[in-house]
């Protein structure tokens, strides 16, 4: 039996004004139900209860994945790969713009199989990549010759040694939220950039799909950020929010998965429609975007 952690306070702002908002199912691995709680003060949502850090690995095992129809799976995978290649260069430019530097020092947390670390190294950056999954680290080494390191390395780096830290869909997986944020502050130079991409449960597509919204991804996503909760947390930890940007492709990808969770067969037209609506709303209001990139500066 996995060891479980329940929060009596908001894991971000420590408020006691927290209550259950909805229940969501783990569609990709366990099929188990988890509650998602809401904080009335900072508006963070969080999964409740969560497996302990040393037990959650079981929920990342893909052996138990629900089999999806090959057509839909193929299409979603193709879309994912297209988007990833495109977005690597967009992310590089974003980082160069945020730091005002063509080349600098970077720590990428949740590096996966190393595609972004590789992109930045190609651009001449000095990069450290942290990745908890041993298998992913091995792929990064075989594919790019990059040696990613385990997350405990975060606490071994030097003070004010970095120009930038990136977490592309990684912070919502981190148990030690406060310890990580405090370490970001310690590691960055003054004026350094902290770039965090995270799903946005206040987005149009999240509201449309409710408990079927694929980016709840319980219990792997421990926290579900709103733009407000992210800005408040950053502020308390010594960062000001310099800018935020929508992630245009995420709404389509997440809508396609959400449709499949809602109806086994999936509804491609419905997914494209909701993805499009989410993006149209995000043109006028960044806070409607399915995922948001938060660009913080160390105060
Ligand atoms: Zn809170």
What pLDDT score does 219 carry? 96
Could you tell me the distance, in angstroms and rounded to a whole number, from the CA of residue 218 to the centre of ligand 1?
A: 19
Tell me the CA–centroid distance for residue 45 and ligand 1, in Å: 8
Cα 85 to chain centroid distance, Å, stands at 18
- What is the whole-number distance in angstroms between the Cα of residue 248 and the centre of ligand 1? 27
Give me ligand 1 centre to Cα 154, in Å.
Answer: 25
**Residue 151 CA, ligand 1 centroid: distance in Å:** 25
Tell me the average confidence (pLDDT) per consecutive run of 10 residues in the chain, 299 residues long: 87 98 94 97 98 91 44 63 76 97 97 95 98 92 96 96 97 97 98 97 94 95 98 98 89 87 79 83 83 96
Asked if residue 281 has a cis previous peptide bond (ω within 30° of 0), the answer is no
**How many Å apart are CA 76 and CA 249, to the nearest integer?**
12
CB 178 within 8 A of CB 158: no
3-state secondary structure of 281: helix
> Any idea which residue has 């590089």 for tokens?
92
- Give the CATH number of domain 4-102+158-298: 3.40.50
8 A C-beta contact, residue 213 and residue 205: yes
- How far is C-alpha 79 from the geometric centre of its chain's CA atoms? 18
Q: How remote is the CA of residue 238 from the centroid of ligand 1, in Å?
A: 17
β-pair partners for 37 = 20, 46
What does the alpha-carbon distance between residue 4 and residue 50 come to, in Å, rounded to a whole number?
5
Model confidence pLDDT, tens digit, residues 203-245: 999 999 999 999 999 999 999 999 999 999 999 999 999 999 9
CA of 293 to the centre of ligand 1 (A): 20
Ligand 1 center–CA 74 separation, angstroms: 39
Q: How far apart are CA 258 and CA 280, in angstroms?
A: 19
CA of 15 to the centre of ligand 1 (A): 5
For residue 291, the CA-to-ligand 1 centroid distance in Å is 19
For residue 216, the model assigns a pLDDT of: 96
């Amino acid at each position: 039996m996995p060891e479980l952690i329940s929060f009596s306070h908001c894991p971000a702002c420590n408020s006691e004004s927290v209550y259950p908002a909805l229940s969501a199912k783990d569609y990709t691995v366990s099929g188990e139900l988890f509650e998602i709680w809401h904080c009335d003060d900072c508006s963070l949502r969080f999964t409740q209860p969560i497996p302990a850090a040393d037990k959650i690995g079981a929920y990342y095992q893909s052996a138990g994945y629900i089999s999806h129809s090959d057509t839909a799976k193929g299409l979603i995978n193709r879309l994912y790969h297209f988007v990833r290649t495109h977005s690597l260069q967009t992310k590089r430019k974003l980082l160069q713009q945020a730091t005002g530097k063509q080349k600098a020092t970077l720590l990428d947390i949740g590096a996966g199989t190393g595609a972004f670390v590789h992109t930045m190294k190609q651009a001449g950056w000095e990069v450290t990549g942290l990745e908890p999954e041993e298998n992913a680290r091995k792929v990064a080494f075989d594919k790019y010759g990059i040696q990613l390191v385990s997350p405990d390395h975060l606490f071994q780096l030097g003070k004010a040694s970095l120009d930038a830290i990136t977490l592309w869909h990684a912070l919502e997986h981190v148990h030690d939220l406060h310890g990580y944020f405090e370490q970001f502050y310690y590691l960055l130079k003054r004026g350094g950039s902290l770039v965090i991409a995270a799903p946005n449960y206040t987005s149009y597509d999240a509201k449309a799909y409710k408990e079927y919204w694929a980016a709840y991804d319980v219990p792997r996503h421990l926290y579900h950020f709103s733009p407000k909760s992210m800005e408040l947390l950053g502020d308390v930890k010594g960062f000001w929010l310099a800018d935020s940007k929508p992630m245009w492709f995420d709404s389509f990808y997440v809508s396609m998965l959400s449709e499949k969770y809602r109806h086994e067969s999936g509804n491609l037209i419905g997914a494209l429609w909701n993805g499009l609506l989410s993006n149209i709303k995000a043109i006028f209001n960044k806070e409607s975007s399915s995922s948001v990139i938060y660009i913080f500066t160390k105060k």
